Structure 1
Amino acid sequence: MSQQLGIILLIDVVAAIEANTLEGNTYLFDNMKLQGSEGLGTGKLISAINGTSYCDGSQANEQVLNWLPYGVGSLPPTLPKSFLSDKSKNSDLKVLEEIQALTDRLTGANADKQNISSVVQELQKISKAVGVKTQVQSKKSNVNQDIGHLGQKIMDVTGNLVTEVDGKIPEINSLNPIITNITGEAVDKNVIYPAAYGSPDMVTDGWYWAASIDTSRPGTYAYTMHIQLYKLSRENGAWAWVPVDFTHDAYIKISNDPKKNGFTNAGIGYLPIPKA
């Protein structure tokens, strides 16, 4: 039968950027361990692709690969991709409410007789809740752009916005890795046919890489994932995510067996019906 093979690409983003390599910072998993996949949990995954063929050798069923990249220490993948944008927008609304409340206390009929020092302290307290807005730097033009329509702010791994302290940012939630292309031996030999697909699924951000496989050609083939990570950097007085490109190799191991009846373990055909 057709098999949807999911491959999880898990990357320690902070460690990979610091070391400038994915070696030792990449962990791959798939859902075919019981079918013969090797190297699960390491950077050298060999995914088992069990194809089937008809008696004439032609491919009987299509096998499909799906790649999903995630970052170690990033927000849980079960959260919708709009979580950070929503959090950033809500923080702005909260700050406006607090400023309005402070204005009312200072100008209303029952205005508090606060001195300048106390007002400054109140404003400093409010500013800490604003968070730090970031942009993404274009790889080609070095132009910074907002993430989404309203931009996003820096968040820690617990889902709270962080504040800049002495020009530095504490522990952050890194942006998830992005697969930008699939190339390599398996593609060059027309064994797999990869493409980026659109999806309404908010967890995958609407885009993911998938590939159909020609299982009529047994063997082990390498393929290369082109991966883009993002490094948080201070550019022209503002914080921006700067893209850093890497590549990483993995493998598929294709087998091809005659299609058989799952009940009788024999060739395809009608099920045996006992005589009355």
Structure 2
Amino acid sequence: MKLLRIGASGEERPALRTDDGRVLDLSPVTADIDGAFFASGGVDAARAALAAGLLPEVSAGGLRIGPPVARPGKVVCIGLNYRDHAAETGAPIPERPVVFMKDPGTVVGPHDEVLIPRGSVKTDWEVELAVVIGRRARYLSGPEAAPAVIAGYAVSHDVSEREFQLEYSGQWDLGKSCETFNPLGPWLVTADEVPDPQALDMRLHVNGVRRQNGTTRDMIFPVHHLVAYLSQYMVLQPGDVINTGTPAGVALGLPNTPFLRPGDTVELAIEGLGSQRQTLVQA
């Protein structure tokens, strides 16, 4: 299934997109797609309601698509998780996952404007596979236990301000947590429709020029390893989001490539998970 949220910011309502492109109202099942929805077996309930024909069709034409998960409890990010990206930035291949946190308030819709922070000169792009947690995960026994706690997957844009990130602090938070810096969606594709998260092609264009052309096959630490690993150090809760890293092609690693400026457009997509498009504006 493809779960999404439609409507103005702060007024989104839950919906389901069928294989033939229709949008169905998920309100008979849940008030929203959030941690409580996942924790209460909402995905199975939505599937049952769909099969029973209980979800009315809605006219979604012209409606904004919001982030598919409301108010994530946390956004956990993995840095330098592709060999080619580590190489282009001059960083060594990490022996363990590089983990940092991103303000959950950065999560916006897939086509919302992205704000270039005041004082920014190095706002950068990063297409990433997002994992959405569906069940509480604590001290998982290993990667083989990870699939049972994953609700699904989505396209994520881990926008980054490199000067803030790398030059202003010993931590990365300043360059990762600026407002609007995590477009997510357009929908959450449930895990049963993504049999192999390590076999997804991903791409990103800036102003029509392809900058990133990667595949999740090239992850240093695969998705299931990451989920199990993180569960050893923090409790993953339903609705949490994990950004799993980006392939090569970011402005930071491309000589003579300009960073993002007001008026630029970024388009990104992951195979089977949909696409995003944002326009950059000045904060």
TM range (shorter): under 0.3
Give the TM-score, by structure 1 length.
0.24
Rg larger for:
1
Higher RCO, 1 vs 2 (CA within 8 Å, ≥6 residues apart): 2
Give the TM-score, by structure 2 length.
0.24
